[in-house]
C-alpha cells in the first residue's frame, strides 16, 4: 500500500499540531519504510550553538547560519549533517537521499569522515542535533488526523537562508487553499 510518504518529501506541521517539538516545523523525510517507520530532520529550528563548538573540523564548511539546528526531539546528543553536491559523483562520506528530483543531490554526511574528503565537493552543508522519528504506521496516522501536510520539497528548502520563515514559504508556494494557511496567526485567539 502506498502511503504517499517518500524520502525527500516535506512534512509541514498544520496549525492544529500544537506539540512543542513540532509546532510550525518543516521536516525533510530522510528514511521511510512503511514496515519499519520514518526518520526526518526538522529544517527550521536553528539553535544558538555554533557548529565550531561541537564539530570544529566541519565549521568552515557549513552554510549559514553557522549554527547547529535541532533536527528533532530524538537523540539530541547525536549529530547528523545534510549536504548538497554538484554532478553525479558520490564521494566517500556522503550518501544520496533516494527521493524526489528536487533533493536528489542532497545526502547524508558521515561526520566521522575527514572533512577534507568532502570539502572540494560540497555546495552546501548543514548540521543537525537529533532527528524526528515515527514507528511503523504512526506518521500515516498523524497525517490522517490532520497533523501534517505532505508536500514536495524544493532544492533550497534544506539550506534556507532564513530558516525561521521556511514554514510560511513552503506553504505559500502550494496550490489552492493550502497557500492561505501560511497566513494563519501564531495565536488565533488574538485575531
**Which of 12-21, 30-39, 68-77, 166-175 shows the lowest per-residue confidence on average (mean pLDDT)?**
30-39
Render pLDDT for 106-154 as a digit per residue (tens, 0 to 9).
Answer: 999 999 999 999 999 999 999 999 999 999 999 999 999 999 999 999 8
Q: What is the pLDDT of residues 155-188, one digit of tens each?
A: 789 999 999 999 999 999 999 999 989 998 776 6
Cβ atoms of residues 158 and 110 within 8 Å: no
Share of the chain above pLDDT 90, in %: 77
Taking the C-alpha atoms of residue 185 and residue 189, their distance in angstroms, rounded to an integer, is 9
Nearest by Cα to 11 from 47, 48, 44: 44
Question: What's the CA gap between 85 and 96, in Å, rounded?
Answer: 9
The distance of Cα 98 from the centroid of its chain, to the nearest Å, equals 14
Residue that is written with C-alpha cell 529550528 in the block: 45
Among candidate residues 18, 12, 77, the one with its CA nearest the CA of residue 43: 12
pLDDT digits (tens, 9 = 90+) for 61-106: 999 999 999 999 999 999 999 999 987 788 889 998 876 555 668 9
pLDDT at 97: 87
The pLDDT of residue 155 is 77
Q: How much of the chain is in helix, strand and coil states, percent to nearest 5?
A: 25, 30, 45
Cβ count near 48 (within 10 Å):
7
pLDDT of 87 reads 79
The number of C-alpha atoms within 13 Å of 96 and in the hemisphere containing its C-beta is 15
- One of 2.160.20.10, 3.90.76.10, 3.40.1740.10, 3.40.50.2300 is the CATH number of 9-184, namely 3.40.1740.10
Closest listed residue to residue 71, CA positions, set 39, 113, 104: 39
d(CA 183, CA 8): 25
Distance CA 180, CA 144 (A): 20
Q: What cell does 46 get? A: 536553528
* In contact, 34 and 1? CB cutoff 8 Å: yes
Question: What SS3 class is residue 34?
Answer: coil
Check pLDDT > 90 for residue 1. no
Q: Is residue 35 over pLDDT 90?
A: no
Amino acid at each position: 500500500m502506498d502511503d504517499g510518504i517518500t524520502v525527500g518529501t516535506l512534512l509541514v506541521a498544520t496549525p492544529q499540531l500544537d506539540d512543542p517539538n513540532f509546532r510550525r516545523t518543516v521536516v525533510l523525510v530522510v528514511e521511510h519504510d512503511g514496515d519499519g517507520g520514518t526518520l526526518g530532520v526538522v529544517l527550521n529550528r536553528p539553535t544558538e550553538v555554533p557548529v565550531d563548538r561541537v564539530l570544529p573540523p566541519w565549521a568552515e564548511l557549513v552554510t549559514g547560519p553557522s549554527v547547529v539546528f535541532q533536527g528533532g526531539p530524538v537523540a539530541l546528543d547525536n549529530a547528523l549533517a545534510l549536504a548538497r553536491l554538484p554532478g553525479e559523483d558520490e564521494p566517500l562520506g556522503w550518501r544520496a537521499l533516494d527521493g524526489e528530483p528536487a533533493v536528489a543531490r542532497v545526502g547524508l554526511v558521515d561526520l566521522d569522515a575527514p572533512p577534507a574528503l568532502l570539502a572540494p565537493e560540497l555546495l552546501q552543508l548543514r548540521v543537525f542535533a537529533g532527528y524526528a522519528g515515527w514507528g511503523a504506521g504512526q506518521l500515516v496516522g498523524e497525517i490522517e488526523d490532520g497533523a501534517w501536510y505532505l508536500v514536495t520539497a524544493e532544492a533550497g528548502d534544506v539550506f534556507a537562508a532564513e530558516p525561521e520563515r521556511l514554514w510560511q514559504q513552503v506553504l505559500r508556494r502550494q496550490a489552492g487553499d493550502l497557500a492561505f494557511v501560511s497566513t494563519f496567526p501564531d495565536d488565533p485567539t488574538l485575531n
